[in-house]
Structure 1
């Protein structure tokens, strides 16, 4: 089939690579978000998908909005059979959805109908899901509500950050998306409506959502830190300044600390929670580089009764 691939961030690149490598399909063009300012100089930089497409000599389309007539006209000229999508980042209007014969097929990183929305992997980690996965589905105008072509499952490991899990799903999902394109071309795959039960939503995690509540149990603190890593990054406040908490360890044997209360030994720094303590493994003070929690604690010289989050 002739394909137009839509995607933007690094997580979409494995799927694009899989389709480029396919001997059954032609990636005629790629649709991405417009170049965005990055780095200290805030110069405009092409997104990872655009860079990969340019390396492969594939036409790149960067509409500000996918409803623009100039973009729709070019899409009609290309006349794709199908448009596979991975983390494109913009809502597709009906005028765009109707152009490819087989529609737009999205690779979504959850087992639909669970975790519809922008941050399914983060919410799976935050919720303590033991199993998640990826789904390919036909895009409709609703939020991730279209009928499903295929799924794969992936275990959530106890130490997974959302970044770890998303990386695995991106590579596993690239094979699922490629197989979905094959099945659509063969006519052997039929999209099945999602069940009405089990719908959950995964809105984008904002910076303010990532603030640590030290009064909740240690397990939830750990999930919150892992679920917000690498972005937007879990954080707390110490002496009026923001402290990013990059990773923690569960230490159920330390139970005598109140929420946010700090304790420092020769080799470790601990914070109390609503249950037992967690060890501060890696932190990043405001304006500084990441460092081991024990090194940070020794450097700031924790005073008696000082707490995180105050």
Structure 2
């Protein structure tokens, strides 16, 4: 088949790579425009743009699938559109341009966590399972019938970044299977059933940690926003990023938000037992171990807020 592929971040690259290794023809790769990255704000192509360019595919960089993009894609006469984390909405008339419409690899067990941040929201909510699904794109958000899916345990210590990395590779295998079944005319889509929950995009303030909650909830929060948008708190009025945290085998009672060192472990209090800070990043500095950071604090204890 002639395929149009739309995707932007690193998690979409395994799907593009998987499709590149087939007999299907990728006639265009659509991705978002170059974005400023780093301290120098250098305009940088998306991971998908870089992967597509390396393989010699035509790349359309656009943040909106508007009339101009629709005309460009229509001229290619694709059989199928494939979307993996593109970061934009496909509307009519573009939705009906490919002969078989569009399919989407989504990183959740639909209809749970429809939206932009499904894995992060699953971890934040303390879900036991996450997964991925390939479904038919329809005008309603992530509501189309499902061609295939799989699930896996969230795990007690996985961050959303770790989970997304694994799901991106397993999801690519699932996507490839569905594309082949569509080409063969054997694909079967099943309507979604069950309770619908939404996963809106996370913003920076969603990553501010409230230590007044139970330790398990705080731990899930930190894992859910790692690596993006990145867990943080403030200490003495300065932002402190929390890069790696773990449950504590020590169980002293600490007031919520109190940070101190005990038996060479830097602990932070919650509503229940404390957590151990392992790696942090103070404002304006590079990442470091929590013990290195603590040596520079120069106090018996501080309070995170």
> What's 2:84 paired with?
86
> What's 1:114 paired with?
112
Residue 295 of structure 1 aligns to a residue in which SS?
A: helix
> What's 1:15 paired with?
15
Among 199, 202, 227, the residue aligned to 1:202:
199
8 A contact 1:67–1:95 mirrored in 2: no
Q: How far off its partner does 1:282 sit?
A: 1.0
> What's 1:221 paired with?
218
CA deviations over 1:235-254 (Å, ceiling 9, x no partner): 11100111111121112541
Q: How far off its partner does 1:182 sit?
A: 0.8
> What's 1:144 paired with?
142
Residue 220 of structure 1 aligns to a residue in which SS?
A: helix
Cα distance in structure 2, aligned partners of 1:64 and 1:220 = 36
Residue 114 of structure 2 aligns to a residue in which SS?
A: coil
Cα distance in structure 2, aligned partners of 1:219 and 1:40 = 34
> What's 1:175 paired with?
173
Cα distance in structure 1, aligned partners of 2:157 and 2:222 = 11
CA deviations over 1:12-57 (Å, ceiling 9, x no partner): 000000000013x111111111122223332322111111111111
> What's 1:66 paired with?
65
> What's 1:158 paired with?
156
> What's 1:272 paired with?
269
Q: Runs of at least 4 residues of structure 1 off by over 3 A?
A: none
> What's 2:56 paired with?
57
CA deviations over 1:99-142 (Å, ceiling 9, x no partner): 00111100000000001000001011111222211000111111
Give the RMSD, CA atoms, in angstroms: 1.3
For 1:92-107, list aligned pairs within 5 A.
92-107=90-105
Deviates more, 1:115-124 or 1:295-304: 295-304
Cα distance in structure 1, aligned partners of 2:241 and 2:41 = 24
> What's 1:261 paired with?
258
CA deviations over 1:186-224 (Å, ceiling 9, x no partner): 1211221111x3211111111111111111011111111
> What's 2:303 paired with?
307
Structure 1 alignment gaps of length 5 or more: none
Cα distance in structure 2, aligned partners of 1:109 and 1:18 = 17
Deviates more, 1:3-12 or 1:250-259: 250-259
Cα distance in structure 2, aligned partners of 1:299 and 1:37 = 33
Cα distance in structure 2, aligned partners of 1:96 and 1:34 = 19
Cα distance in structure 2, aligned partners of 1:250 and 1:39 = 32
> What's 1:32 paired with?
31
